[in-house]
């Protein structure tokens, strides 16, 4: 694997020390990069400094000495060649606004967060472009694909995609992150990559609900297949390349989150299918299940655009209108019969 990047010459800041942010920071640090990591929680910063472990969000993994944790976000982003932002989608705008004016205009901004903002219905790169107008459009990029943080930390073979409108930027990021266990493809369809990463979390909640109800493999296969159709419909309406949804950030990420028992979104769904209420479930969780908030965005956006997304809509009604999972399944299965393939 060829990599011509001089690790000593690249200054990297990672904003967000959840499981995924920590895993990506460690991947880069193990390659020899010195990585400044912004940590929101004082206790997590102290854990990383003292024990070289993020015991809250990525327990059980020894972290590289090349990671330098800090609670000072300005210190982390100042004079960097690349800033990787990995925060929950609902705080993306607030976080970006904090660092506005503290980032050099030529800095590459990479989002590894998955979601759609509730009020604006923007993807995470859209939020960043609005909040950071001093950064040129070609300097924004996104990472997406089937990638549980713990498995990346375990160095299990993982494949993701980097999206940017500038192929040179995409290629640079590709080589920056690539390792023998972390393969990176480039893709210039940023909106497709981001929609795949967002909508799959909503479908994963549905898959968890099906498992919580004790339904079988037939049901799961149908759900994944029709969920992919919904993802593609929304993507086409917003100008995405349909081929993206047949790739790793589409069907790949969808299969992972709908079948992986460590998916937070699947876990939320499974507990709902087992009879728990959403408020009760969320009160027990410290990490964010992105699909909960994204379900509201997808519901409102798809209705505004006139895109048919029945599974996503039923997830919304279960989460926010207290519709019973069994009633939602019945409504899906008794909809008007039609041709499988979309007309367009």
CA distances from 57 to 44, 205, 221, 240 (A): 9, 21, 31, 33
For β-strands 158-163 and 140-144, DSSP reports them as antiparallel
What is the Cα–Cα distance from 287 to 131, expressed in whole angstroms? 25
For β-strands 108-111 and 158-163, DSSP reports them as unpaired
Upper half-sphere CA count for residue 24 (Cβ side, 13 Å): 32
What is the Cα–Cα distance from 125 to 115, expressed in whole angstroms? 10
Angle at 56 between CA 52 and CA 57, to 5 degrees: 90
User: Which of these, 156, 143, 127, 321, lies nearest to 248 by C-alpha position?
Assistant: 143
Helices 310-320 and 290-305, interaxial angle, to 10°? 130
Structure tokens that stand for 261 in this block: 């028992």
- What distance lies between CA 214 and its chain's CA centroid? 27
| Active-site entry in 200, 270, 271, 293 | 200
| Torsion sign, CA atoms 176, 182, 187, 192 | negative
To the query of whether residue 296 is one of the catalytic residues in this protein, the response is no
Residues with a catalytic annotation lie at 200
């Amino acid at each position: 694997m060829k990599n011509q990047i001089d690790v000593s010459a690249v200054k990297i800041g990672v904003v967000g020390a959840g499981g995924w942010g920590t895993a990506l920071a460690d991947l880069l640090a193990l390659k020899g990069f010195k990585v400044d990591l912004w940590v929101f929680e004082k206790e997590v910063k102290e854990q990383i400094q003292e024990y070289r472990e993020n015991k809250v969000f990525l327990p059980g993994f020894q972290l590289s000495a090349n990671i330098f944790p800090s609670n000072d976000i300005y210190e982390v982003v100042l004079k960097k060649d690349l800033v990787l932002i990995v925060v929950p989608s609902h705080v993306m705008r607030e976080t970006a606004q904090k660092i506005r004016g503290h980032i050099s205009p030529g800095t590459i901004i990479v989002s590894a967060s998955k979601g759609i903002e509730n009020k604006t219905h923007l993807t995470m790169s859209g939020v960043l472009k609005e909040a950071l107008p001093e950064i040129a459009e070609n300097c924004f990029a996104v990472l997406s694909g089937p990638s549980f943080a713990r498995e990346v930390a375990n160095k299990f073979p993982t494949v993701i995609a980097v999206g940017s409108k500038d192929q040179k930027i995409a290629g640079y990021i590709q080589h920056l992150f690539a390792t023998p266990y972390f393969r990176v493809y480039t893709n210039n369809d940023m909106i497709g990559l981001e929609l795949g990463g967002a909508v799959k979390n909503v479908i994963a909640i549905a898959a968890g609900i099906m498992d919580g109800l004790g339904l079988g493999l037939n049901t799961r296969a149908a759900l994944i297949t029709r969920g992919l159709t919904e993802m593609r419909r929304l993507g086409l309406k917003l100008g995405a390349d349909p081929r993206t949804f047949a790739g790793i950030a589409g069907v790949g990420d969808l299969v992972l989150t709908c079948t992986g028992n460590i998916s937070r979104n699947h876990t939320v769904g499974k507990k709902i299918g087992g009879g728990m209420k959403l408020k009760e479930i969320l009160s027990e969780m410290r990490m964010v299940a992105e699909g909960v908030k994204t379900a509201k965005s997808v519901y409102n956006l798809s209705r505004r655009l006139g895109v048919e997304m029945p599974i996503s809509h039923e997830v919304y009604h279960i989460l926010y209108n207290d519709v019973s999972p069994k009633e939602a399944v019945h409504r899906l299965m008794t909809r008007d019969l039609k041709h499988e393939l979309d007309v367009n």
